[in-house]
Every structure is written in structure tokens, then in C-alpha cells.
Structure 1
Amino acid sequence: MQNMFIGKGNLAGSPELKHLPGRNGDFTVASMRVMFGRYGQNEEGQVEQVGGFWREVEIYGPKAEACAKLLRKGARVLVIGEEREYTGRDDDGREVQVLKVVAEDVTLQLSRVESITFAAPRARQAESEPAEA
């Protein structure tokens, strides 16, 4: 890879899945917008977020379908791929440069485990035990 990209970020929205025609049949692409944070040290030597940047991320094939099923807005992901620059036009017709990441791999990060709700094991166990007299 010429412009290797590795970054952790949060999804701005759920991935959009598209089926596009190709030479060897249809292929699948998932597009998502990700906010990647920049971190630095403050005066006390603690690490804090000092900025960030947005990137369009695309992934192809079976991984695209998995991303569409598993990822939702706000999910923390690790993206590994290649950064590519494209020239396009905005809504007003002006020429703009766009940076996209063509992902080789997108991994869901479970750094926010506190937001996941688990069923209490004791509640299930209590239901299966006979009542004492």
C-alpha cells in the first residue's frame, strides 16, 4: 500500500450498502463517514483529544455486508486501509479534492463496554430453582 491508513474513530451514521454492477457480476460496497480524533498531551502530561478529522471510508465484498449488519451510528471502529485522493465537484459545481479510505479491514472496538446491557445471571437462575417452603 502506498498511503497506508490506520486509525480509530466513531461512525457518524450507519453504513450505506450498495450493490454495483461489475465485469464479473455485482459487487457490494459499504460507505461510511468516520470521525478520527487527534490526541496530544496537556500541561499536566495527560493525554487528551486536541482535534480530529473526518474521512469517507469504503469497504468491498463480504466485509461490506458484515459492516452493514453489525455497525451503527456512534460505533467505535479500527480502520486499516489505503488513503486515496479523488477530484470531484461539490453542489455548487466547484472542483474539490476528497480524501477517502479504501478499507482492507474494519474492526468493531469494544472500548465502551459499559454501554452494553447484560441480563443478570441470578435472575435466570432464580427462575429455574424450586421455591423453598
Structure 2
Amino acid sequence: MQNLFIGKGNLGDSPKLKHVAGRSGDFTVASMRVMFGRYGQTEDGGVEQVGGFWREVEIYGAKAEACAKHLRKGARVLVIGEEREFTATDDDGNEVQVIKVVAEDVALQLSRIESITFTPSRARETEAAEV
């Protein structure tokens, strides 16, 4: 990777999955917008967000399908990939430079989950047997 990108951010919307025909066959792409925050230290030693930036993130193949299945708007994710610059045309017909992250890996950051209801399979079997 030439332009290694590693960042933690929040999904601005749920991933959008699409199937694309390529030279070597069909492949799956998940695209998502992620807000990466910038943090700084306050005078009293705390940490506060002092800015941030949005990036379009794309991931391919089986990982794309997993992202579409498990990630939702607002999820905290760790993105590892490569930043690439593209030329695109906006709604007014002007050419603009767009920076995307082509992800090698996207991981859900579980530290943001406050509570999970978990019932072990043996407990469900015991409950079913008692009924």
C-alpha cells in the first residue's frame, strides 16, 4: 500500500451493497460514508473533538457482504486501507477531486456498545425443556 490509511470513525449511513461486472468476473462492493474525528487536549487535561472529515470508504468481496450485513448507521468502525484520489463530475458538470479510502479491512469497534442481551444456547435449551 502506498498511502496507508488507518482511522476510527462513525458511519454516516448504513453501507450500500452493489454487484459490479469486471474484467475478471463479477464482484461485490460495499460503499459507506465515515466521519473521522480529530481530537485535541483541553486545558484541564481532558480530550475533546476539535474537527473531523468525511471519507467515502469502499471494500470488496466477502468483506463487503459482511459489512452490509453487520454494520449500521452510527456504528464505530476501524478502517485500514489506502487513500486514492479520483476525478468526478458534480451535479453542475464541474470536475472535482474526490478522495476515497479503498479498505483492506473494516472492523466494528465493540467498545461503543453499551449493552448486549446474550442468552447462551444451553439456557435456551433449558427454558424450552421446562415449558
TM-score category, normalised to shorter length: 0.7 to 0.9
Task: State the identity as a percent.
Answer: 82
- Root-mean-square deviation over aligned CA pairs: 2.3
Q: CA deviation at 1:113?
A: 2.4
Q: TM-score, normalised by structure 1?
A: 0.86
Q: Comparing 51-60 with 22-31, which one deviates more in the overlay?
A: 22-31
Distance in 2, Cα, partners of 1:32 & 1:118: 29
Q: Which residue of 2 aligns with 1:8?
A: 8
- Say whether residues 1:69 and 2:69 are aligned partners: yes
Specify the SS of the correspondent of 1:68.
helix
In structure 1, distance between residues paired with 2:97 and 2:51: 21
Q: How far does residue 94 in structure 1 lie from its aligned partner after superposition?
A: 1.2
Which residue is 2:86 aligned to?
86
Q: Distance in 1 between matches of 2:115 and 2:34?
A: 20
| Distance in 2 between residues matched to 1:117 and 1:98, nearest whole Å | 41
Helix, strand or coil at the partner of 1:111 = helix
Task: Give the structure 1 partner of residue 114 of structure 2.
Answer: 114
Which residues of structure 1 form unaligned runs of 5+?
none
In 2, Cα distance between equivalents of 1:94 and 1:116: 47
Equivalent position amino acid for 1:85 in 2: E
- TM-superposed CA distance for 1:115, in Å, is 4.5
| 1:38 shift after superposition | 0.2
Distance across 1 between alignment mates of 2:76 and 2:112: 8
Structure 2: runs of 5 or more not aligned:
none
